[in-house]
Structure 1
């Protein structure tokens, strides 16, 4: 994001600190899910939460060698967690982390926008009633027409933003999904129960059918970013 054009709250959602924080939570919740299944020791899952931390500069340094962002991140985590780090990421693929994290960031962004639109709707509604009888000129074909009221104009804006709010709420639901299904989405080395656990803990729904990635029509079919632009 371009800092000078970004709202502080939105910038925080998309900065490196928040991204890696989400990555860690996905990995740690997955470890809990695996521990619940008996795949890894429960003590190891506990240690991951207790000792897991990261440094953005160190991740960047490691990535220069590995040429792989998730491996760099996991390597940095391992430096802090110690031997129990060998239980991290078992049966998972990089896209399980990347795509689920992207879903969370888009969900967080949509929640911020929804909050703003709801406040805007409240203000427009208040002003519309205030100007219910405020006469102003209407327009037709780009020129002056019959008189109308400013309140009616504001009511039109209210209805338009209300429709935009519904679109944004639909977009939020569409993109708020989790995939922790392993390489090419076959669950060959990880239980679907782990995916369900991560989804529940992260406030997401499970992607019904994923491959290597969460299906991209979720990002494009309802034009999440186009909806944001409408607002």
Structure 2
């Protein structure tokens, strides 16, 4: 991911040096288990732990691996060679009985687990902001829209409550995907454990509180990674759904809410009056990336026989970039919603803008309750509504003047009571303990 959309946390997590530190963690965990089983000398493990703690892998080590790989054309071989150069003779016991993918896949799971933890924390923060705004605007009337057209009254807080509930589901999906990659694979070439005991894998998994992959070939099955990317892609659609709504509300013709606009900010290089929804447009674009990464992740599932590396080059891009984009977009949207500029009076103006048309369903029901057939009642209300659309006259005035209107003035006025439409909002909030 380019630096523009990479948070500091994600940049450090997916750095080359940190990737090698994850590889080393897997190698040392395997050595520890092998030492306990008497397969490698205990002093070899302890010496390497001491040396690597005192002199941890850094950017210089990563650069040396890159130099060696220029010759070997194999990153794990370059890695183990660089370990031997840096830490001495006991490094020869590193990678004992393992194959490259044992280390790469298990270490990648370590990084994914941490990355998904960061994303989940970001989503939780966004969810909390939605909760706060849902409470703040619980009773703020606004017009609900379907097909982009005024429908019926609702409250602005209900939008945030819907987003909060969706983010709860996103958190559930992220947790499930995270659990799916919390597995250790240390099964050797083609998954037969011919050169490494299954107990090594089981001991490492137990020490981390993870699971040993129950069966593998020479890779972990990539449906696990596809599930991660699916959870991130769905999160992206949630972010986009929220972003698109904010973008719509900021349109000049609507102007009910807008992104924060900082001191010194410029909306346009040519038009000084502009305040553009650039933050939420940015989120929309990143959501498209997240869905695209999923396509590649799905294509990575089908590999030749027990293994090929067609997935490897793709994963080096999509896994860091997907988690980074999700984190960045979530944090950006959190800032937008936290500091959202809201115009309640404009909401009321828009709600009243159609001269009462949005109360048509209540009138319909009043007529039905009065004894009219649904068809006759609908005809009366639609006739007046269409005239209101065409002339701008108020719906209530047109209905009062209709010779077929059987409702008295008080009954008709009751149909235009805004609070009647909002009377059950508290019931919905109560489902969330609010």
Q: Secondary structure at the match of 2:204?
A: helix
- 2:116–2:174 contact (8 Å) kept in structure 1: yes
Tell me which residue corresponds to 1:226.
Answer: 233
Deviation at 1:225? Answer: 4.2
Alpha carbons of 1:71 and 1:78: their partners in 2 closer, same or farther (altered >3 Å)?
same
Q: Secondary structure at the match of 2:77?
A: helix
Q: For 1:36-115, what aligned pairs fall within 5 Å after superposition?
A: 36-52=36-52, 53-54=56-57, 55-115=61-121
Tell me which residue corresponds to 1:141.
Answer: 147
- 2:174–2:232 contact (8 Å) kept in structure 1: no
The answer as to 2:180 corresponding to 1:185 is no
Deviation at 1:76? Answer: 0.6
C-alpha separation between the residues in 2 aligned to 1:12 and 1:121?
25
Range moving further from structure 2, 92-101 or 172-181: 172-181
Deviation at 1:224? Answer: 4.3
Can you give the 5+ residue segments of structure 1 that lack an aligned partner in the other structure? none
Deviation at 1:205? Answer: 2.0
Alpha carbons of 1:36 and 1:227: their partners in 2 closer, same or farther (altered >3 Å)?
farther
Tell me which residue corresponds to 1:14.
Answer: 14
Q: Deviations over 1:86-132 (max 9, x none)?
A: 21111100000110111111111110011111111111111111111
Q: Secondary structure at the match of 2:162?
A: helix
TM-score, with length taken from structure 2: 0.51
Aligned residues: 231
Tell me which residue corresponds to 1:5.
Answer: 5
Tell me which residue corresponds to 2:159.
Answer: 153
TM-score, with length taken from structure 1: 0.94
Q: Secondary structure at the match of 1:148?
A: strand
Deviation at 1:196? Answer: 1.8
- 1:36–1:42 contact (8 Å) kept in structure 2: yes
Alpha carbons of 1:8 and 1:31: their partners in 2 closer, same or farther (altered >3 Å)?
same
C-alpha separation between the residues in 1 aligned to 2:100 and 2:231?
23
Q: Aligned-residue CA RMSD in angstroms?
A: 1.5
C-alpha separation between the residues in 1 aligned to 2:109 and 2:205?
11
Q: Secondary structure at the match of 2:88?
A: helix
- 1:132–1:149 contact (8 Å) kept in structure 2: yes
Deviation at 1:51? Answer: 2.2
Tell me which residue corresponds to 2:387.
Answer: none
Question: Any runs of at least 4 consecutive aligned residues in structure 1 with deviations exceeding 6 A, and if so which?
Answer: none
The answer as to 2:173 corresponding to 1:173 is no
C-alpha separation between the residues in 2 aligned to 1:221 and 1:116?
19
- 2:170–2:231 contact (8 Å) kept in structure 1: no
The answer as to 2:130 corresponding to 1:127 is no
Comparing both chains, which one has the higher relative contact order based on Cα–Cα distances under 8 Å and sequence gaps of 6 or more?
A: 1
Alpha carbons of 1:27 and 1:227: their partners in 2 closer, same or farther (altered >3 Å)?
farther
Alpha carbons of 1:154 and 1:221: their partners in 2 closer, same or farther (altered >3 Å)?
closer
- 1:17–1:56 contact (8 Å) kept in structure 2: yes
Q: Deviations over 1:132-187 (max 9, x none)?
A: 11011111221112111011111111111111111111111112211011111111
Range moving further from structure 2, 47-56 or 61-70: 47-56
Alpha carbons of 1:146 and 1:225: their partners in 2 closer, same or farther (altered >3 Å)?
closer
